[in-house]
């Protein structure tokens, strides 16, 4: 090869290396997503006083319920819940991916040691050792390595948001199970009081039968009413055991090792405002994760585009070599189209996640609004049913009505009491759902930075 040809190749090689400072593709911008300035189901002004994002509950949203038992249980979710631990391991794996992508910035040095024995002319054997070194370096032509690192960093940030989302999900599920358990205990107290009352009514009816005032039919009705209440009381124990077992699994413990003492009364639902709809994109970790995946896809898209214009191998060794594919049947262009389609899918998923977030907030707000009205109605219904039973009892004692009217009043009171307990439970569940839908006090600023994820995976504690 002539000196002129060698010079041309060297200059071309140098030009390719110089282009490594350039990056293919535009700078990433968050894609447009659905927006709302206010929630349609938002309560009237003054209905609520505290927001989940307030400093008092940021990072510990469950403290808004002022339940010591709940605080102790939720504290164990991040430590012992196996699904959260799996998400944490996935984040560390994503950090390792960033570390591996950054390694492409640096040359690779390899050695192939060899040993041989050389016999001299005098017949003396002498060992001979060879340690050849090979240095290879992948130049960052068109900024593909840089895009790869950025994409891996965005993916690691998405994994970090997934971890936050998983933690919030299982914390919320535990809180919901806890309040369902609390509702069952309140329902049990109602049924226990009802059974005790029905026992007294049965004794009253028996006394009146023995006095010849009522017939055996009244005794049978009172007895049947009592046994029905006893069946309902026994039945709630099944549901209580199931919720207790579910809580045990959420804190990473075998169900046989967890026992939760009944609460004396149901928790009062906290006042929770809806917050600003326009900030929802910054407050939900699943939305942040979806957006970071769009960013990661954007990096891969730019890298694929760079591959369309550059040679398939950019390896520089001690002897400069340049290889280029003349014809590949459209393989690389197809890869670009594939990457573009994958990117468009991440954008659509991001927008759908945002829409789902708005729906969940609206659903929770609607539930709280309607249940607040139902709670007031329920209080009045219980009072009216109690008054009806008192009047029916008085009339029955006076012989003015038969026992069927008493049973009707008893049934009405029990149904309204249990409905009241159910409404309170649903209010608590809806409050948890709203806080979860609003991100639980989380904010996108809590995501690890690109510098943080580049430090490499940390071992699980």
pLDDT one-digit tens code per residue, 280-295: 778 889 998 998 888 8
Determine contact, residues 181/247, Cβ cutoff 8 Å.
yes
For 214, which DSSP code? S
In angstroms, the CA 129 to CA 265 distance is: 83
Q: What is the pLDDT of residue 11?
A: 43
For the chain, give the mean pLDDT: 79
To the nearest 10°, the Cα dihedral for 209, 212, 216, 219?
-20
Tokens found for residue 356: 């789902």
* Residue 459 in this model has a pLDDT that exceeds 60: no
Q: What is the pTM of this model?
A: 0.78
Q: What is the mean pLDDT of residues 105-113?
A: 65
β-strands 114-119, 108-111: how paired?
Answer: unpaired
Q: Which of 255, 364, 301 is nearest to 25 (CA)?
A: 301
CA atoms within 13 A on the CB side of 121: 0
Any idea which of 61-70, 298-307, 361-370 has the lowest mean pLDDT? 298-307
What is the three-class DSSP state of 126?
strand
Q: 331 versus 363: which is more confidently predicted?
A: 363
Task: For 408-451, write each residue's pLDDT tens digit.
Answer: 999 999 999 999 999 999 999 999 999 999 898 888 888 888 77
Highest mean pLDDT: which range of 39-43, 44-48, 221-225, 454-458 = 221-225
Q: What is the mean pLDDT of residues 133-144?
A: 57
Q: What is the pLDDT of residue 130?
A: 59
**pLDDT confidence bin for 52, thresholds 50/70/90:** very low
Q: What is the pLDDT of residue 392?
A: 94
b/e code 384-393 from CB counts within 10 Å (16+ = b) = ebeebbeebb
Q: Which of 219, 201, 200, 199 is nearest to 209 (CA)?
A: 219
Residue that the structure tokens 């468009």 belong to? 344
Q: What is the pLDDT of residue 314?
A: 39
Which residues make Cβ contacts (< 8 Å) with residue 366, sequence separation at least 6? 41
Tokens found for residue 80: 């012992």
* Residue 39 in this model has a pLDDT that exceeds 80: no
b/e code 241-252 from CB counts within 10 Å (16+ = b) = eebbebbbbbbb
Q: 318 versus 326: which is more confidently predicted?
A: 326
**pLDDT confidence bin for 272, thresholds 50/70/90:** low
Domains of the chain: 35-107+146-291+348-453 (1.20.1600.10)
* Residue 180 in this model has a pLDDT that exceeds 90: yes
Any idea which of 14-28, 75-89, 383-397 has the lowest mean pLDDT? 14-28
CA atoms within 13 A on the CB side of 326: 0
Which residues make Cβ contacts (< 8 Å) with residue 127, sequence separation at least 6? 115, 116, 117, 118
* Residue 324 in this model has a pLDDT that exceeds 60: no
Q: What is the pLDDT of residue 142?
A: 52
Determine contact, residues 135/108, Cβ cutoff 8 Å.
yes
Determine contact, residues 442/284, Cβ cutoff 8 Å.
yes
Tokens found for residue 76: 């164990």
Any idea which of 73-77, 135-139, 157-161, 215-219 has the lowest mean pLDDT? 135-139
Any idea which of 88-102, 129-143, 309-323, 347-361 has the lowest mean pLDDT? 309-323
Query: ∠341-344-350 over CA atoms, to 5°?
Result: 145
Burial (CB count <10 Å: 0-12, 13-18, 19+), residue 374: middle
3-state secondary structure 23-35: CCCCCCCCCCCCC
Q: What is the pLDDT of residue 278?
A: 66
* Residue 383 in this model has a pLDDT that exceeds 70: yes
Helix 285-309 × helix 144-210 angle, to 10°: 150
In angstroms, the CA 151 to CA 101 distance is: 9
Question: Chain centroid to CA 45: how far?
Answer: 30
- In 140-215, which residue ranges form alpha helices assigned H by DSSP? 144-210
* Residue 270 in this model has a pLDDT that exceeds 80: yes
Q: What is the pLDDT of residue 461?
A: 44
């Amino acid at each position: 090869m002539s000196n002129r040809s060698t010079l041309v190749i060297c200059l071309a090689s140098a030009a390719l290396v110089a282009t490594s400072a350039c990056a293919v593709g535009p700078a990433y911008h968050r894609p447009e997503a659905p927006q709302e300035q206010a929630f349609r189901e938002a309560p009237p002004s003054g209905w609520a006083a505290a927001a989940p994002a307030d400093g008092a509950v940021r990072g510990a949203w469950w403290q808004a319920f002022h339940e010591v038992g709940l605080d102790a249980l939720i504290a164990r979710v991040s430590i012992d819940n196996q699904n959260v631990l799996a998400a944490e391991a996935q984040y560390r794996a994503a950090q390792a991916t960033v570390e591996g992508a950054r390694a492409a910035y640096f040359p690779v040095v390899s050695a192939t040691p060899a040993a041989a024995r050389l016999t001299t002319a005098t017949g003396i054997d002498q060992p001979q050792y060879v340690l050849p070194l090979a240095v290879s370096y992948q130049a960052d032509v068109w900024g593909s390595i840089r895009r790869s690192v950025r994409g891996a960093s965005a993916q690691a940030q998405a994994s970090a948001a997934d971890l936050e989302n998983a933690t919030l999900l299982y914390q919320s599920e535990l809180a919901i199970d806890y309040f369902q358990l609390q509702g069952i205990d309140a329902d049990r107290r109602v049924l226990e009081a009802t059974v005790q009352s029905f026992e007294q009514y049965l004794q009253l009816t028996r006394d009146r039968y023995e006095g010849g005032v009522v017939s055996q039919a009244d005794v049978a009705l009172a007895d049947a009413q009592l046994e029905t209440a006893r069946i309902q009381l026994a039945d709630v124990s099944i549901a209580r055991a199931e919720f207790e077992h579910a809580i045990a699994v959420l804190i990473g413990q075998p169900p046989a090792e967890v026992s939760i003492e009944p609460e004396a009364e149901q928790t009062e639902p906290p006042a929770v405002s809806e917050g600003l709809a326009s900030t929802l994109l910054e407050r939900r970790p699943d939305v942040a994760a979806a957006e970071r995946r769009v960013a990661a896809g954007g990096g891969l898209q730019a890298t694929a585009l760079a591959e369309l214009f550059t040679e398939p191998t950019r390896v520089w060794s001690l002897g400069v070599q340049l290889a280029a594919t003349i014809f590949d049947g459209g393989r690389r262009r197809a890869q670009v189209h594939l990457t573009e389609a994958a990117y468009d899918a991440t954008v659509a998923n991001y927008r759908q996640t945002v829409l789902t977030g708005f729906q969940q907030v609206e659903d929770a707000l609607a539930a709280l609004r309607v249940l607040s009205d139902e709670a007031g109605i329920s209080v009045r219904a219980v009072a009216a049913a109690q008054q009806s039973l008192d009047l029916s009892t008085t009339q029955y004692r006076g012989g003015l009505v038969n026992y069927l009217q008493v049973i009707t009043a008893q049934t009405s009171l029990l149904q309204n009491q249990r409905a009241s307990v159910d409404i309170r439970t649903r209010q608590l569940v809806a409050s948890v759902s709203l806080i979860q839908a609003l991100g639980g006090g989380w904010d996108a600023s809590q995501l690890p930075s690109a510098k943080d994820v580049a430090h490499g995976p940390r071992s699980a504690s």
